[in-house]
Amino acid sequence: MFLIESFKTASSLIVHLDAELMGIILLSLKVSGSALIIATLLGLPLAAFLGFKRFPLKGICITALHTFMGLPPVVVGLFVYLLLSRSGPLGFLALLYTPSAMIIAQSILALPIVASLSYSAIVGIDPIITQASKTLGATPYQVSVTIIREARFGIMSGVIAAFGRVMAEVGAILIVGGNIAGFTRVMTTTIALETDKGNFDLALALGIILLTISMVINTFLHVVQKKGVTGTNR
């Protein structure tokens, strides 16, 4: 009975677009979206550099990049906290316990995912495409563009996977954001807090929204991967 009533109240909050609920959702999308844009702008050039260039210690760099995909969020949160704290090297920026600090933490978590999966997509392109481009007189830049175009579905999969990771993240942003009501409180941190307080209505409403977003992300990822496989088999 308690569970049914909680679902009813949570559904009511969603249907009536509760102001607090909407504010938390919009902040979550803003923080995670901004982090994803930063990670993509940095990760794609890094992936292209690793994919097209040969240099000493390249293997170590690639191994490190793959390893960083599994970075513990609380460790990232601690690292960013130490950087942005008053006694830290970037303390003068006064970014701790702000959405900007949360964006920085999530960008660090998303960057290795975007870069690593994009790199895998680039090096996974059939060498025949590269050879054909060179045979037709393409410049190195044109060859690179052609390969990236062919790897676009794999790159998109990496970006989508990174977005799913940061949307569900709680540890790092809780440390650097402080979970301040109306300022740095996002869906995951609010669910944790409201559950501890016994306010299951808001927590459940946010859980439903977060689960829906996760389903949309995974469905989109499945479609992109399916298109990539179809395009490869042509």
Condensed to tens digits (0 to 9), the pLDDT of residues 1-46 reads 667 777 778 788 888 888 888 999 999 999 999 999 999 999 999 9
169: left (phi over 0), alpha (psi -120 to 50) or beta: beta
**Distances from the Cα of 64 to the Cα of 68, 69, 74, 77, angstroms:** 6, 9, 19, 19
How far apart are alpha carbons 155 and 115 in whole angstroms? 9
pLDDT top residue among 135 and 123? 123
| pLDDT given for residue 105 in this prediction | 96
Are the C-beta atoms of 120 and 50 separated by less than 8 Å?
no
Which pLDDT belongs to residue 101? 95
What gap in Å lies between CA 192 and CA 44, rounded to an integer? Answer: 33
Residue 233, pLDDT score: 54
Report the CATH number at residue 18.
1.10.3720.10
Three-state secondary-structure class, residue 105: helix
pLDDT of residue 68: 92
For residues 172 and 157, give the distance between their C-alpha atoms in angstroms, rounded to a whole number: 23
The residue written with tokens 């954001």 in the block is: 177
Phi, psi of 82 (to 5 degrees): -65, -35
pLDDT tens-digit profile of 73-129?
A: 999 999 999 999 999 999 999 999 999 999 999 999 999 999 999 999 998 887 888
Whether the per-residue pLDDT at 146 is higher than 80: the answer is yes
Residue 26 has a pLDDT of: 94
| Residue 133 pLDDT class (50, 70, 90 cuts) | confident
| Residues 33-43: tens digit of each pLDDT | 999 999 999 99
Tell me what pLDDT residue 30 has. 95
Boundaries of domain holding 220: 2-233
Report how many domains make up the chain: 1
Report which of 126, 91, 103 is spatially closest to residue 41, judged by C-alpha positions.
103
* Model pLDDT, residue 186: 93
Instruction: Supply the pLDDT for residue 195.
Output: 86
Q: For 66-73, what is the mean pLDDT?
A: 91
